[in-house]
């Protein structure tokens, strides 16, 4: 069966009892991951539990189709229903999925995540299996749906948002649900615990915490970090600080850049051409930077880019919540990410 539009939220809260497999696919990979995680947690709250959760790459299922059924039929050592997650799926898995759905062994829930694969053999296999399987297309948030995500995420942090700030945020966000939530989390961090800087987000707050215009001024740092140019990074960071930039501002710009590199690298890993992935991940990139950023998308893998994001996010928290000098924390984090970029470029050369 295919779950559409307004029925998706209800499905994720209370799926059919017969459901054995769910496919999440579409252009918004962050939303696909979020929905897949929500559904999986109805079965296993801790998705890091190795006894009740099995993670399979699509390549593993392609090379050994029986592996999917084996994992679904396995019994958890300490009891309880299991979840089998399949990542990076494509239409090449259609026969394996179809065979599984003909007579699903065991009682595990199989959660399949795919990219922007469109309609094809895999979606047909899932949609034709009746109540035992569901396909959910995930499209970027827009309009009132996007506004609802923004308002809801900020409300969960104890914050309200002014109308002009909401308009600004809606114009900046929405391409990818995970990226949207990351940006809103940074905005909440900027406002402080329990809205210490007032509980209402203003347009000035959005500019201060998320301003994209500053990325152009810091492009040398951003690309030196993402491209592994340690020498240029060191001198550019020093110039930025002497020119009045703050360490927190630099970290925000590099973190934003690496989030987009992660999105682009994920698209490249799925088979999309680097120039198309560049346009999707960096829709407003100025032409002078395109060649450099395209090289970065080829060098970084989704896994190494995510590790860099986590490192930068941790550094940003340290600059706000500890007595360690912010410039030192930032400089170290940037150098470590740049070093990782150099290693990544070397591996892919």
Q: Which of 170, 186, 210 is the last residue of a domain?
A: 210
Q: Once rounded to an integer, what is the mean pLDDT over residues 33-49?
A: 91
- Whether 156 shows a pLDDT value over 70: the answer reads yes
Taking only the tens place, the pLDDT of each residue in 69-106 is 989 998 888 888 999 999 888 898 999 999 999 989 98
pLDDT digits (tens, 9 = 90+) for 172-199: 787 778 878 888 888 888 887 655 667 8
Residue 220 and residue 349 share a domain: yes
Tokens of 237: 């960071």
215 pLDDT more than 50: no
Confidence at residue 220, expressed as pLDDT on a 0 to 100 scale: 86
- In this structure, are 247 and 176 located in the same domain? no
What's the structural domain count of the chain?
3
The reported pLDDT for the residue numbered 216 is 44
**Domain-terminating residue out of 103, 118, 137:** 137
Give the pLDDT of residue 238.
Answer: 87
Quick one: average pLDDT of 187-213?
74
Domain that holds residue 340: 212-349
Asked if residue 149 and residue 130 are part of one domain, the reply reads no
What is d(CA 291, CA 205) in angstroms, rounded to the nearest whole number?
32
Residues 199 and 331 in one domain: no
Tally Cβ neighbours within 10 Å of residue 109.
Answer: 21
Q: Are 170 and 236 contained in the same domain?
A: no
Over residues 60-71, the mean pLDDT reads 89
- CATH code of the domain in which 308 resides: 1.20.272.10
The predicted pLDDT at position 140 comes to: 84
Cα gap 85→22, rounded to integer Å: 10
Q: Residue 27 — very low, low, confident or very high, per pLDDT cuts 50/70/90?
A: confident
| Token reading at 1 | 């069966």
Question: pTM for the full model?
Answer: 0.59
Domain final position from 210, 242, 260: 210
224 and 101, same domain (yes or no): no
Assess whether 84 and 149 both reside in one domain.
Answer: no
203 and 96 fall within a common domain: no
Least confident piece of the model among 91-100, 162-171, 302-311: 162-171
> Which stretch of 28-37, 213-222, 288-297 has the lowest confidence by average pLDDT?
213-222
Q: Is the confidence at residue 212, as pLDDT, over 60?
A: no
Q: CATH number of the domain that 111 lies in?
A: 3.40.50.300
Residues 130 and 154 in one domain: no
Q: Please report which residue ranges of the chain form alpha helices under DSSP H.
A: 8-13, 29-41, 58-63, 66-73, 94-102, 121-127, 143-156, 163-172, 177-191, 203-210, 213-217, 219-227, 230-242, 247-269, 274-281, 287-299, 302-321, 326-348
- Mean pLDDT, the chain, rounded, equals 86
Question: Quick one: 216 and 205 in the same domain?
Answer: no
Unique residue bearing structure tokens 């892919």: 348
233-259 pLDDT per residue, tens: 888 888 888 777 788 888 888 988 899
Mean pLDDT, to the nearest integer, of 111-134? Answer: 90
- If one compares 12 and 282, the residue with the highest pLDDT of the two is 12
Average pLDDT over residues 204-217: 64
**Banded model confidence at residue 213, pLDDT cuts 50, 70, 90:** very low
CATH of the domain at 150: 1.10.8.60
Percent of the chain with pLDDT over 90: 31
Question: Do 218 and 194 fall into the same domain?
Answer: no
Q: Are residues 186 and 76 in the same domain?
A: no
């Amino acid at each position: 069966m295919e779950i559409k539009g307004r029925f998706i939220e209800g499905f994720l809260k209370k799926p059919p009892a017969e459901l054995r497999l769910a496919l999440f696919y579409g252009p918004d990979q962050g939303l696909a991951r979020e929905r897949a995680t929500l559904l999986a947690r109805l079965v296993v709250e801790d998705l890091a539990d190795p006894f009740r959760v099995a993670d399979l790459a699509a390549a593993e299922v392609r090379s050994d189709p029986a592996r999917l059924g084996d994992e679904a039929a396995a019994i958890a050592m300490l009891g309880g229903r299991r979840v089998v997650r399949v990542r990076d799926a494509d239409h090449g898995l259609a026969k394996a999925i179809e065979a599984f759905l003909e007579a699903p062994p065991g009682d595990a829930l199989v959660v399949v995540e795919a990219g922007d694969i469109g309609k094809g053999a895999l979606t047909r296999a899932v949609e034709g299996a009746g109540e035992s399987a569901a396909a959910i297309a995930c499209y970027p948030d827009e309009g009132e749906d996007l506004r609802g995500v923004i308002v809801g995420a900020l409300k969960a942090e104890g914050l309200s948002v002014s109308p002009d700030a909401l308009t600004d945020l809606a114009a900046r966000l929405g391409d990818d649900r995970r990226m949207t939530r990351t940006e809103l989390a940074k905005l909440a961090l900027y406002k402080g615990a329990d809205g210490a800087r007032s509980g209402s987000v203003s347009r000035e707050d959005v500019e201060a915490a998320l301003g994209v215009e500053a990325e152009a001024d810091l492009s040398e740092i951003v690309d030196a970090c993402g491209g592994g140019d340690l020498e240029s990074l060191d001198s550019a960071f020093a110039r930025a600080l002497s020119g009045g930039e703050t360490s927190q501002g630099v970290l925000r710009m590099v973190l934003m850049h690496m989030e987009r590199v992660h999105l682009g690298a994920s698209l490249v890993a799925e088979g999309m051409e680097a120039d198309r992935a560049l346009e999707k991940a960096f829709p407003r990139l100025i032409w002078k930077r395109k060649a450099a950023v395209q090289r970065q998308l080829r060098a970084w893998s989704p896994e190494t880019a995510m590790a860099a994001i986590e490192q930068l996010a941790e550094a940003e928290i340290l600059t706000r919540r500890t007595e360690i000098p912010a410039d030192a924390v930032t400089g170290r984090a940037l150098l470590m990410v740049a070093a990782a970029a150099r290693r990544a470029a070397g591996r892919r050369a």
